[in-house]
Chains A and B, each alone.
Chain A
């Protein structure tokens, strides 16, 4: 019998339709894998009762000749940043102790309405702030891939639990959120596909906010086809999110034609950085060669303000975070640490409830928004953001998509890069610029480092042109044939 946990969404869809397996069988296989895979710490909360109930409902529908579509009966994990009705939602933070929302986020509600089965809530960096999943109050997640000397590696972050769950086959797919690279970088570290769609494509309603002008949900999957299928179920206009885009959701899977002849692929000169890992450069060159071989036209482009993207991000994102996280005051939900006065209670609660990285970002945000510094930092960063967005607008006059590496390195060992916040921030050097511009970006596993660890390539596209991004990603995936490598999967 096939190991059901090895199936992709598209394979499972076909098997379910053909009656070769049931949603309950799929779900049971993953619940068992989750039990044996607990050492990865990929999940904060497992929801087996909910999973089995929804799987049974899916099978009952199918027995009646009904189906809600490709996601009906598919077992998925939900990043613990999405509010889920009556299920503990933590954002990886002590300050949300015991928080059980009375409502469901739009993205998880959309998935549920499409018949998807929730297996549980995955681990993440606290409030999605981090690139290694080491800032979670619930402890670090381990990458299913191991270093050659057997050391535990980080899965990347902030959607590290989701990436590890998909790579370790503890979920068929998972939701992630990406503010500066939090879907794409962990996807690269764990050898899976991670797709951040255009800002506004998926509703932010009910997703715990980090930096609202950047936060965007997306799918984390084994294949590009699965990302196309799952995004279709997650996306859509939502009146409850004022920045939700009133655009139709196309059939993303239909974009995977395999034909990229004549498409123009931009290669930005500024992403070739001094001292870059030769393995990353080589993989990038390989990616260019693969796309050329399939008939794409490769063009050198310039994104001149690239080097200013990370510093601008580390003003804009903490500024928004300092405002968004003001709500955690020990009054309405979560942790309360008593104090003699109201102020004392606030300070004690927030001092104990927030971890070090979250505190750093709130303080940076408070500083750059404080009078006397507002223009010099916050407005300056917003102007730089305009320049970065303009760079992309100009580039997309000449090319259809842009190809870059996803991350500057492979996964590193747990405990490394922990003492220097700025070194950790550099993980997102290739992903942050597109976040600032709100563009869709996907990471596709494309090869291995000399140490045998996964490396991803990133494809960026025009706003709301996810279809071209997916089309090129699909061709890249076929050329790279990454699944021939083992190491992550069971």
Chain B
């Protein structure tokens, strides 16, 4: 499996990572090498095998639907790179 420059560019966009144009080609080479090595899995017959998402056999526990936390706006915002009037501030999204 080899990834071309355009595929890498698209993945980088989907993952919202800025990759400079001149880095795309070498990155495509590295990712192709990794995917080529992973390709080894395809030789294994896995028909009828259940996929394993977690080693924990039990179902997820449930808790009561009650408020257990809150009233900590300033604490939550204390790490924000930019905040205003008790909100996170981001570049304008609505014209």
Q: What is A's interface to B at a CB cutoff of 8 Å? A: 98-102, 199-200, 213, 239, 242-243, 245-246, 305, 307-308, 311-312, 314-315, 322, 326, 329-336, 338-348, 350-352, 354, 359-360, 362-364, 366-367, 370, 376-377, 379-387, 389, 420-422, 436-438, 463
Contacts and interface: CB of A to CB of B under 8 A. Distances in A.
Given A340-B91, A351-B18, A364-B31, A333 B79 contact: yes
Nearest to B7: A367
A354 B91 contact: no
Interface string B63-95: 100000000100110111110000010111100
B81 A331 contact: yes
B85 to A, nearest CB: 16
Given A350-B15, A350-B17, A421-B33, A382 B53 contact: yes
12 contacts: A243-B56, A305-B44, A311-B38, A331-B81, A331-B88, A347-B18, A352-B18, A359-B19, A360-B34, A363-B11, A386-B50, A421-B33
A311 B75 CA distance: 42
A98 B82 CA distance: 13
What is the interface residue range for chain B against chain A? 35 or more
What is the interface of chain A mostly: helix, strand, loop, or mixed? helix
A386 B49 contact: yes
Task: Report, nearest first, the 5 A-B pairs whose CB atoms are least far apart.
Answer: A351-B18, A438-B55, A382-B51, A336-B81, A333-B79
Contacts of B38: 311, 314-315, 377
Interface string B24-62: 000100110111011111101010011111111000110
A161 B40 CA distance: 33
A482 to B, nearest CB: 31
Contacts of B11: 363, 366-367, 370
Nearest to A361: B34
Contacts of A376: 42
Given A334-B81, A350-B16, A350-B18, A380 B76 contact: no
Given A331-B88, A347-B16, A366-B15, A360 B30 contact: yes
A362 B15 CA distance: 7
Contacts of B92: 341
A332 B81 CA distance: 7
A343 B12 CA distance: 12
Contacts of B82: 336
Residue in B12, B18, B63, B88 with the greatest tally of chain A CB atoms within 10 Å: B18
Contact of A437 (B18, B55, B79): B55
A270 B49 CA distance: 22
A392 B50 CA distance: 16
Given A332-B88, A334-B79, A384 B55 contact: no
Given A364-B31, A364-B34, A242 B61 contact: yes
A312 to B, nearest CB: 6
A295 to B, nearest CB: 32
A383 B30 contact: no
B81 A213 contact: no
Residue in B30, B41, B42, B90 with the greatest tally of chain A CB atoms within 10 Å: B41
A335 B81 CA distance: 7
A199 B56 contact: yes
Residue in B8, B76, B79 with the greatest tally of chain A CB atoms within 10 Å: B79
Given A243-B56, A389-B52, A311 B18 contact: no
A242 B54 CA distance: 12
A333 B39 CA distance: 37
B78 A102 contact: yes
B79 A382 contact: no
B24 to A, nearest CB: 11
Contacts of B78: 100, 102
Nearest to A419: B30
B16 A387 contact: no
A311 B55 contact: no
Nearest to B43: A308
Given A331-B80, A336-B81, A385 B52 contact: yes
A280 B44 CA distance: 29
Nearest to B93: A342
A343 B14 contact: no
A345 B93 CA distance: 11
B80 A422 contact: no
Given A99-B79, A343-B16, A421-B30, A213 B54 contact: yes
A315 B56 CA distance: 19
B76 A102 contact: yes
Contacts of A383: 46, 49-52
A379 B51 contact: yes
Nearest to A382: B51
Given A340-B91, A382-B53, A384-B46, A332 B17 contact: no
Given A360-B27, A370-B14, A387-B49, 12 more contacts: A102-B78, A239-B61, A242-B61, A334-B79, A336-B81, A345-B90, A359-B27, A363-B31, A376-B42, A384-B44, A386-B49, A422-B33
B12 to A, nearest CB: 6
B42 A380 contact: yes
